[in-house]
Amino acid sequence: MKPLLPIFCRPLGYVILLFSMIIPFVLFFIGKLNDSNLLFYKECVKLLMMMGALMILFAYTKDETKATEAIRNNATRYAMFLTVLFVFGTMLFKLSTGDVITVDTSSFLTFLIINVLCLEFGIKKAKVDNIFKK
């Protein structure tokens, strides 16, 4: 998978993820988050998280090579497998507790976050491998 975004989008994606995790607490403490607008803010935070994760995944790295593209492809492959396991486990848990009404709509966000984690792990592992090969 080839990168599509410039290199500055990678740290910007992390800033967006951090911002999207902090903003619900800030809104709650200043009194702007209540029961009537909770769903709106929940979906806005999800969209911000998706945008941040996609920016991280599709941005160039500092030392972009063919190996980085292979790492990005492997991260996506691992993320698909782990997301299926996570969603399947969640479904089994909900069935075992009798909660068949609640539907989880954040599977894509879960996939993106797992993909970012796999990508970062793969990039750091490749750097460590290169250090010990020399």
Confirm whether 76 is domain-assigned. Answer: yes
**23-47 tens-digit pLDDT:** 999 999 999 988 888 889 988 999 9
- Alpha-carbon distance of 122 to 11, in angstroms, equals 17
Confirm whether 111 is domain-assigned. Answer: yes
Q: Are the C-beta atoms of 105 and 90 separated by less than 8 Å?
A: no
Look at the chain and report how many structural domains it folds into: 1
Tell me: pLDDT of 105 over 70.
no
Confirm whether 2 is domain-assigned. Answer: no
The domain containing residue 55 runs over which residues? 9-133
**50-104 tens-digit pLDDT:** 999 999 988 888 877 888 888 888 898 889 888 888 888 888 888 888 876 776 6
Confirm whether 53 is domain-assigned. Answer: yes
Confirm whether 4 is domain-assigned. Answer: no
CA dist list (Å): 111 to 51, 53, 77, 80, 127: 13, 10, 11, 7, 24
pTM recorded for the entire structure: 0.78
